[in-house]
Each structure stands twice: as C-alpha cells, then as structure tokens.
Structure 1
C-alpha cells in the first residue's frame, strides 16, 4: 500500500510528490498521469512564477537548472483603453524587485519546469505511471482504493487530486463546486518582436478583457489575450493574416514588427471553487480545488501555495505519528488554504467585471483609482510583495525557502 498517491502529473502534482518525498523519504509516493509519457515535451506555453514559488524550487534543488531558461519580470505597466485608441496612457507602473537580486516573478517555459520536476521525481525514487486514469474512488477506512483505467486497483493512505479544473476524482468523491462561466476565452500564443522587451510585462485592459504581454527569453513574449468566447473562437480559426492584423491592433508597434510563432489556442474562462478541499483520504490541490480568471496571473501560483501547505501538513502529521489521510489532519490544510483561495477568486472576479467593459463612468472611476495607487509608493510596494507571495508571515516553510 502506498502512503501518498498523486493523481495528475502536471506542475502541481509533481511538486506535491517531490515536496513530500524529499522531506519524508520513508513515505511511498507515486504519481499517475493520463497523458502519454512524452506529451509534456510538446507544450509551447510559459507560466509566470512568483518569488515565493522560486524559493520552493530552490529547496527542491532544481531552480539552478530552471533559472537559465527563466526571464525575470523587471517592470510591469498597466493601461486602460479602447482597442481603437491611438495612444494608451499608462495609469500604473510597478518595479519588479521584492528583494535584492530577486524579481517578483519570472516567466518560465512549461517544458523547463516540468522537465526539472520530473527529474527530481526520478532522483527521489518516485514512480510516474503514464497513460492511466482514475475510474473509481472508494474510501475503505484505513486506506482509499483507486481503480485505474488499466484494470489495476491501487491503495493509498492519502490520494491527492491534481487532475485539473474538471477533476473527475473530485466528482467521484462527491465534492461540489461553485462554478460560473465568464463568457470569455483566453487566447494563448507566443510572438517574436524586433526590439527587446527589457523584462517589462504589460497588462492592457480592453473592453473585451485583459490583454497581457509577458516577456520571455530573447525578443519573444507570451500572450494571454482575453476575448468574448465567440470572438476568440473566430480569431483562433482565422487565417494567419487576419489573426496577426487583430493581434497588432492590440499589441501595438512599440517593439517593432511582430509575428506569432506558436500555435494559438483558446481556453474558456470561468470561476470554479471547490466547496471542500478535503474528504476522508482525499485532498484537492491546484486547479482541482480552484480555477480562477488569469487577470492576475496567480492561477499556477495558487497551486504552488497548495503544494507547500499540503506537503507541510502531511510531513508534520507523519512525524507526530498521525494518520496522514485522516480528515482531522487534512482539515489543517483546508483551513490554511481555503480563505486565501476564496479571497483570490473574489478579487479576480471583481477585477474582471470592473475592467472588462466600456461603461464610461466606471472607466473614469477605475482610471482615477489606478492613478491614485500609482502615486502611493508604499501601497504599490505592498501590492507587489503581495503578488510575489512575500507578505504573509504565516506562509508555509517551502514558500519562505525553508525545508519542511
């Protein structure tokens, strides 16, 4: 029987496995992943990783490998305009450093991060089973039995669901969610441009939703482009000329000529919050527990905060001789993470509703508010430290760069 079985081999699932196994090598930990073994190598996307998450990767011993591929975000600007406006006034700017030599965030190619986490799993002796899905979940008292699509049944003292926002394991356990659709989709792609970005990230608030330009290594940037779902589907299906013309209208000419260099994909956007993060023998982490709007760039980082809190809960319970899958033990994790997740879900929901419109009185008020914040250095400093995950003194040890 396993001690911990992680369902889902993305960043969050792999990080849970590494965090637990490195802190408690005697625990038997495995990961199951529905995708084929090499599928992760074909992911062209990149993700924003906050400073607190890089500290956790340092504890794992893999940040030195990831850092050469990571682009520090040295500055961020925020604008609010119509798509047709010839000039986009900057209402808010942030400097990127939260500590000496540590920017508040990095952009990291997904393949670099997943590859490093997979190597850490291999070094720790964590088995990853590929091409299998969970088809049944049953709590049998001292353990949980997980039925797999290959016909096997695996028993574990604790199962961790990291299988995404449409988590089948969450549904099997009977955990309900609060869910609504924004009627928006996020178009994700990568562009090359003539001039360097100098590490500057940009968030343009447009009537259909935010248009984020996130710097990558070299003269490249990752885009998260929010549109109404029908328009997003039309743009993704359009030919290259139409797509790049619409892209240029939003991107502008400040970095010279631009060209999309990766497949464009559209993902429906909504809010999903699990009513419970835990059940007997089960814990939810990452998107299985919460799916939020990308307006703040915090979705993956919420998942890494889950990793740090859950791993600390498991390891400390084990050191005390407690049952790591007992509901009373898992309640600590839920208490630790649920309020922060709810707060971030509400914040992104309010921001999206506030900025994804072109109502003149609302526009005037929000631009006034942005201008006020821009003139208050102490408040800006608080916001950037909050975004970097460095303001909370009660944060899990891994997010402070400490081993469990």
Structure 2
C-alpha cells in the first residue's frame, strides 16, 4: 500500500521525498524507518510486487542477527513484531575436521553467559523479518512504497536527484540510496567500480529438522572444501549454510532430496539424532565484493550494494544494518544542524565511519575462509592449536564473543542499549 510522502523544496527544486531508496529487501526498509524517526521522508522502490515480498513461504533462509542488530530492530519498533519467531543463540561451537571423521578435539566454545548483555544474537527467518518491515513501512506516513517497478536512470543536480522508473514515472529526492544488492544498478549508474573476487565456492542453504533439541547452540564445522554452519531455529529445526567447491555444490544441488540428505549426513553428524529436510534447497555463489566508494554526488550505498562478503561469520546483514544505523545518525545530526543531508561533507562522514570497518571485516572473513578451507597439514595443526589456546584464554574469548555480538568499535546510537 502506498502512502503519500511530504513534499520538500530545496533551492527551488520540489522533492517527492527526502530519500529515494532503491531496494526494498531488508536494509532499505530499515533505513526508511530510521529516517522517519528523524522526520525525513522516504520512497522505497522495489522490483518485486509487494504480495510476493510480504507473503513469502518458509524457505530456510535465516539470519544470525547480532545483539547490536537486535537493538536496532528494537529501536525501530520491529523486534516486537518478530521476537516470538526468533531463536536466541546461547552458545557457538567452532570446530575443524573432515567429512565423516568428526571434529578435531581442539575447538572454540563461546557462551553468552560470559558477557553481561544477554544472548550474542538471535536466529530469525527471512520471511518474518521481511514481512515485519513491510508492515511497519505501511503504517508510517513518511514512507511511500513503490513495488513492481525498477529504476532505469538517475541524475543528480545541485539541489536534488531524479530517478526514472521502468513504468515511465519520475521521482525526485534530496538523496539517493543504493540498497539494491551486490549487482547494484544504482552504484553502476553512478560510475562506482567494485573490487573483489570469487571463492570458487557455492553455499547450499536449507532447513533441517532433527530428532534432538539444539539448546540454542550454533555450530561452525570447518572442512577442507568449505565450512558447514548449523544454526538453531525455533523448535527442533536448524538452518544450514554449507559451502562446497562450485563443481561439488552443483552436483549436490542437482541430487534428489533423499540423495542430498545421504551426502549431508556424514558431514552433519548424529549429535542431533535423525535428520530430515524441511522445505526447499537454495544455492548461492560465494564471492567478496566491495564498492570502491560508498558515496557519490547525492548518493550513498548500504548493505550488499556497498559490500558483499563470505557468509563464514554470518555478518552480511549485520554489516548492512550497521550501515543503516550509521547513515541514519549522520543524516539526523546534519538535519538538526540545518545542513543538506546529501552534501559532500555529510556523506563523507558516513563513508569515513563505515568503509574502514567494512573493509576490515571483509578481509577478516576472507582470511578465515582461506585459512580453514584447505587440508594443508601444517595449517591444520596451527589452527587447531590456536583454537585450543583461545578456548583457555577467558579475556580473549570474551573479546571474540563481544565481536560476534556486534558490540565492538564505534557503535551508532541506534545500536546501543
């Protein structure tokens, strides 16, 4: 449902809304809601029809939301809509091994009880979070939703930005936001290049029902071809993100469900009892891609449009939501001071805040994947001994837990308690 946005005039140019947000997935709507709290209006443009986005069935796609991201959703009024569907992550166990041989005796164990703030994070299915964001936008008079349409052209001027839609409609705003994924058309049209590489790995994603309770424990099992993450969902259900080489993943993805489970079982193990597939299976090619700039004239990138990384630490959405919180804070403070929210120096503050942290996280996930996704006996011994040592160093272990919870670094206000 579309809502009328306020009209703004800046330097003689009439604007349909303050922000034109391209991409109605997760980060775009979150930014629109955060901006609305500061009195800024948004138009959110998405290629999919709203019923398709809102009424998605169970498909196994889930997110490991760090504690900082949960706080953001609480501050946006979203968490109370989804909390009943969320599963707290109380522990994380990280181990190394080979398929069918079981994990190494050296492993990392992170327990939420070691920090005061509560669970490190929660697992939440995509369908619940997406629906909650759409419903919250529909209730916010400062947000207009444009569905089933795409941006075909964009042009920035001294006092605003204009986009042309495939339907022929034009929209104007003060700031254009690219929240349109790794292949961001918004970034490409602005001439922003990307740096990155493929991993030769593909993620197999599915939901698994199991006989025994998971007790809120997330597992990351590193194998030579790539890691297998087993992430707890409500009930006796877990989401798996299983990385394999491209060729092997293609072969496994083509198998009938029964045969797929036969190759999964020796990797999954029997610690949760008998397992069976729930819902459909999906595949995602894995790569690292970072925009060379997060900003341009009257334009800012957030989420995967700015950075896409390996899912090894489950930080993709968390990094995007951190972009949202940081950009919202920069815009809010600029607006209070009477500054143009799209002025170059204002956007530079956002880029300075987020780009170094994002590049550091992307390289850390890249290095971790390269370190563990191999069968080199020297590296294998070194990483196993390293994990065993960290497990016996409480201060360092708590540092890793706080990092996983998203509580380190320069936190935006919306992510503070």
Q: TM-score if structure 1 supplies the norm length?
A: 0.96
Q: Does the CA contact (< 8 Å) of 1:60 and 1:120 recur in 2?
A: no
- 2:84 is matched with which residue? 68
Specify the SS of the correspondent of 1:42.
Answer: coil
Distance in 2 (CA, whole Å) between partners of 1:230 and 1:132 is 35
Structure 2 portions without partners, runs of 5+: 1-14
Specify the SS of the correspondent of 2:153.
Answer: strand
Distance in 2 (CA, whole Å) between partners of 1:195 and 1:21 is 44
- 2:319 equivalent to 1:302: yes
Q: Does the CA contact (< 8 Å) of 2:67 and 2:119 recur in 1?
A: yes
- 2:45 is matched with which residue? 32
2:98 alignment partner, one of 82, 85, 109: 82
- 1:13 is matched with which residue? 28
Deviates more, 1:232-241 or 1:303-312: 232-241
- 2:147 equivalent to 1:142: no
Displacement of 1:61: 1.8
Displacement of 1:86: 4.5
Displacement of 1:96: 2.3
- 1:4 is matched with which residue? 19
Deviates more, 1:136-145 or 1:174-183: 136-145
- 1:53 is matched with which residue? 69
Distance in 2 (CA, whole Å) between partners of 1:257 and 1:101 is 34
Number of residue-to-residue matches in the alignment? 398
Specify the SS of the correspondent of 1:192.
Answer: strand
Q: Once the two structures are superposed, what CA deviation does each residue of 1:116-153 show, in whole Å capped at 9, x if it has no partner?
A: 21222122221111111111111122111111111111
- 2:361 equivalent to 1:339: no
- 2:284 is matched with which residue? 267
Deviates more, 1:93-102 or 1:285-294: 93-102
- 2:183 equivalent to 1:166: yes
Q: Does the CA contact (< 8 Å) of 1:200 and 1:214 recur in 2?
A: yes
Q: Once the two structures are superposed, what CA deviation does each residue of 1:317-368 show, in whole Å capped at 9, x if it has no partner?
A: 1111111111111000000000100000110010000000001011001111
Distance in 1 (CA, whole Å) between partners of 2:101 and 2:69 is 37
Q: Does the CA contact (< 8 Å) of 1:22 and 1:124 recur in 2?
A: no
Distance in 2 (CA, whole Å) between partners of 1:98 and 1:149 is 52
Q: Summarize the alignment of residues 5-404 of structure 1 with structure 2, pairs less than 5 Å apart.
A: 5-24=20-39, 27-40=40-53, 41-42=55-56, 44=59, 45-86=61-102, 88-97=104-113, 99-100=115-116, 102-125=118-141, 126-392=143-409, 394-401=410-417
The alpha-carbon distance between structure 1 residues 381 and 86, as it changes in their structure 2 partners (threshold 3 A), is: closer
Q: Does the CA contact (< 8 Å) of 2:209 and 2:278 recur in 1?
A: yes
Distance in 1 (CA, whole Å) between partners of 2:258 and 2:403 is 40
Distance in 2 (CA, whole Å) between partners of 1:375 and 1:267 is 36
Distance in 1 (CA, whole Å) between partners of 2:98 and 2:41 is 55
Structure 1 portions without partners, runs of 5+: none
Deviates more, 1:159-168 or 1:319-328: 319-328
Q: Does the CA contact (< 8 Å) of 1:277 and 1:285 recur in 2?
A: yes
C-alpha RMSD of the superposition: 1.2
Q: TM-score if structure 2 supplies the norm length?
A: 0.93
Distance in 2 (CA, whole Å) between partners of 1:142 and 1:381 is 48
Q: Does the CA contact (< 8 Å) of 2:106 and 2:384 recur in 1?
A: no
